[in-house]
Structures are given as structure tokens and as C-alpha cells.
Structure 1
Amino acid sequence: MAAELIVRLQGLTKVFGEGAGRVEALRGVSLDIDAGDFVAIMGPSGSGKSTCMNIVGCLDAPTGGHYLFRDVDVGALSQDQSALLRRHYLGFIFQGYNLLPRTSAVENVELPLIYRQVGAKDRRDLAMKALFDVGLKGWEHHKPNELSGGQQQRVATARAIVTEPALLLADEPTGNLDTARSHEIMELLTGLNRTKGITIVMVTHEPDMARYARRIVQFKDGLIEANDIVEKAA
């Protein structure tokens, strides 16, 4: 049975500025991502990888081409509809964690559920389970300044998965971590991909982190230069 196609990019272009300041960030990017895939996006600064990620995350719109999410043309959606897509189907992990500093881990994880108007008891139960899933049982009531960088990124990951997103977008998720903590986070993401079937698209500049993915897509000068299956050790 053919895999479900979750993301299809068709000839995406993105232009910033005009005249002498005009920059073509994307110059005709086409890419398919199946449900359950784990894709690492790499490329030098200015290659277009972050621009592409922002479009997939409905944080920006392309200048040309099409972005289809489960066969829905995202470019045809209103701002409200795009916001609903983001809220109900996408999860985000950022390099900087983006946790509320005066708020406990469990309260940080509850935030996306508040936007969904989930009741207080169900919200707390789901947040506690998400923290358990990322290995933070016993740390639920600690604030970010009482957690290590790796633990803060685990809280951010729990917040991203508590809504059971169809697609998880991770932007340099190990960028602020040391080597040991980086591998811990990548093992966590790999496990979520494998056991929960969450589709993951991750931007990274670290080749050893990219190798945790199933595919590595290389960007250069606004185009896809390579799209390779990662060969895993036996």
C-alpha cells in the first residue's frame, strides 16, 4: 500500500525585496514528504532551508508555486484557516526552547491545549503524559531555570507533541546543546518518529545529527542539491 503523502512542494519560489535588494531565497523547490518520514534539511547560511521550513510551518507564504498539506493547497487558505492548520496539525521545536520562564514545565506543555480550549483536568493529564513520554517524570513542576538545557529542550518537545501533531518541525533542535545532550534529544526524536509515527522535518547544520533522520535533503542557492536516503549501520 502506498504511503500517505503529507507534504508536497511544487516549484516553490520565494522572493524578498525589490530592485537592487531583491533576493531569491527559493528558486523552484519541489519535494514530497510521506507520513511517518524523518527528513533532515541541511545547507549553508542563505541556502533557503529556513525559508522553506517557515513555509511548511505556515509561518510564511511562497511567492510562487504550491504547498499542499494532505492534498489541501495551503496557498488557497485564509489566514484563519492557516492558523487552524498550524494549531491542529503542526508542532514546533525551536533552537531557543521558547519556554515561559516563570512557568512550570507542565504549565508550559499545557499552552497549546489552552489554545484548543481543552478542559483543565484533561489538559493537565495530557501534559503530564507528554512529559513522561520525553523522560521528565518527576520534573513536571520545575521552572526552566531549574532545568538543564537538555531538559528544557525535552519540555519544548513535550509541548510540541502534546497535541499529537501530524507533522513536527524542528529548527536546529540541538543547536544550543553539548554533544551528549544533542544525541539524547536526537534519540528522543527518533523514538517519537518510530513509536508514534510522527512525521519530522528538521533543519540542522550538524551532519552527525542529520544522520539520525531517514533522508537528508541538501539545499544550495535556493534549490535542492541532493535528496538522499540515510544508510543505517546494520
Structure 2
Amino acid sequence: MNEHLSEQLIQLRGVSKRYGSGAAELLALKGIDLDIAAGEFVAIMGPSGSGKSTAMNILGCLDTPSSGQYLFKGAHVEALSRDQRARLRRRYLGFVFQGFNLLARTSAQENVELPLLYRGDSAAARRSAAAKALADVGLAGWEQHTPGELSGGQQQRVAIARAIVTQPAVVLADEPTGNLDTQRSHEIMGLLMALNRDHGITVLMVTHEPDMAAYARRMVTFVDGRIAKDVLNPNPTTAAPALSAVETV
């Protein structure tokens, strides 16, 4: 059991999401109930069109439910304005994407500093926090390299450093290993596990790969806009390289 796991951080109650209207209406989520405690590592799975990505967009405050309630630390997110949701994202959430989403001509250090720049932190504070985040993902000494000078696994480490530089409560990872080979995929999963275990960061990860989902302590499977299965994983995968083992380009 994760020692950081405690109170309910996220609660969805009867959450539905509709797109379009009339004959073109699509009900992407159909009354979802979901509780996620602080410190959990949850894999969200399901076939294409199952609603898992819609659920992640709502959890990440990138979209809002058509009906139902979303509580984050007890606050009703569905009632917040767009600006209030943006502030919640900046303060509490970090995002990791399949495609890395790094600025190509910008150094690793500067890529990681971006969330802090948007938040208005001083240059000195940004530099210090970004350097620490890069060290936390095993990239100390790589600060001045651009994405083109890094391997795919290293680029994803930079993206994870950018996600954690604000010290978020939650990291939402959307297919974080989708563009990586098998070895790099397992390295990234080991890194996410370490951040969850050692830093108490709640990790919510969308994946279609069962071997990646096996690292999570809990697996939630969506089918046709509903939660079809929600099970604990009593034996999460743990065989992953140490964070200091950074691959060469």
C-alpha cells in the first residue's frame, strides 16, 4: 500500500457527456461514478470509443460534463468558470502525452520551465525548479539539449519533468509509452511508478497496452461509455531499470 494514499481526491458522480444533438447526438459517457484516492496509480483502459479519453479530458479539466458532478478536493469542478478551471489545472495537474509535445528548438531546461513561466514565477525560481525536475527523471546534465538531440525515451522524460515541475497533486498520462519501444516503455513506467511511490503523486494513465497497465495498482476499464470493470492489481509490475540509467542517444 502506498503510504501517501489517503483521502478521496477525485469523485465523479453520475457524470455523462453528450456531443452533438438530435440524430447526430453521441453519448460518450453514461452516468459514470468513480472515486480516486490521493496517492493512487490508476490505469484507465478500454477500446476506441469507450469513453476513456472523454473521462480523462473531464478529469484534467479540459472538458466539462453535460450532467453529473466532478469533485476535486471537495470543490465542484463542473460549477467552475473556464478561468477557474485553468487555475486548477496550473496548480494541481500535470499532463504527459503520447507525442511528447515539446518545443523543437527549445532546450530541455526551457521546455520544463514553461508551466512556471505561465504561472509567473521568477527566472531564478524557474531555473532551479526545472533543474530539480530534470534530475528527478534522470536527466541531470542534459538541460541544454534540444528534443532533436534526445532519444524518444529521453524526450518523454523531459515531458514528465515538465509535468511535475509545478509539484502537481495529479499527473494525467495519455498513452505515455505509445511512441516508444519496449525497453524505453518499461523505463518510463518505472519512472512513473517511482514518482507515485516516492513523491506521492497520483497517476492516472490511459493505455491500451496490458503490460503497461500492469504497473498500476488499479485498473479501470471503460466499455460503451460506462465503467465495465474496476479492479485492484495485487501484484503490480516492479521490474524496471533505475532512474539513473539514462539511455544514450
Q: 1: distance between equivalents of 2:131 and 2:178?
A: 26
For residue 66 of structure 2, what is the aligned residue in structure 1?
63
Deviations 1:96-115 (A, max 9, x none): 10000000000000000011
Q: 2:182 aligns with which of 169, 179, 182?
A: 179
Report the equivalent of 1:150: 153
Among candidates 168, 171, 193, match of residue 168 of structure 1: 171
Report the equivalent of 2:244. none
Q: Distance in 2 between matches of 1:231 and 1:75?
A: 33
Q: What residue number does 2:50 align with? A: 47
One-letter amino acid of the structure 2 residue matched with residue 157 of structure 1: I
- Tell me the TM-score normalised to structure 1 length: 0.98
TM-score, normalisation: structure 2: 0.92
Equivalents in 2 of 1:156, 1:3: separation in Å? 27
Written as runs of structure 1 = structure 2, the 5 A alignment for 1:9-88 is: 9-88=12-91
Map 1:215-234 → 2, pairs under 5 A:
215-232=218-235
1:80, 1:191 → 2: CA distance?
32
Q: Which amino acid aligns with 2:140?
A: K
- Provide runs of 4+ in structure 1 moved above 3 Å: none
How far has the Cα of 1:79 moved from its partner? Answer: 1.2
**5+ unaligned residues in a row in structure 1: which ranges?**
none
Counterparts of 1:78 and 1:27, CA distance in 2: 23
Distance (whole Å) between structure 2 residues aligned to residue 146 and residue 75 of structure 1:
42
TM superposition shift of 1:22: 1.0
The answer to whether the aligner puts 1:191 opposite 2:222 as a matched pair is no
Q: How many residues align?
A: 234
For 1:6, the aligned partner's letter is: L
Unaligned runs of 5+ residues in structure 2 are 239-249
State the partner residue of 1:202. Answer: 205
> 1:127 Cα deviation (Å)?
0.2
Percent identity of paired positions between Structure 1 and Structure 2:
65
Give secondary structure in 2 for the equivalent of 1:145: helix
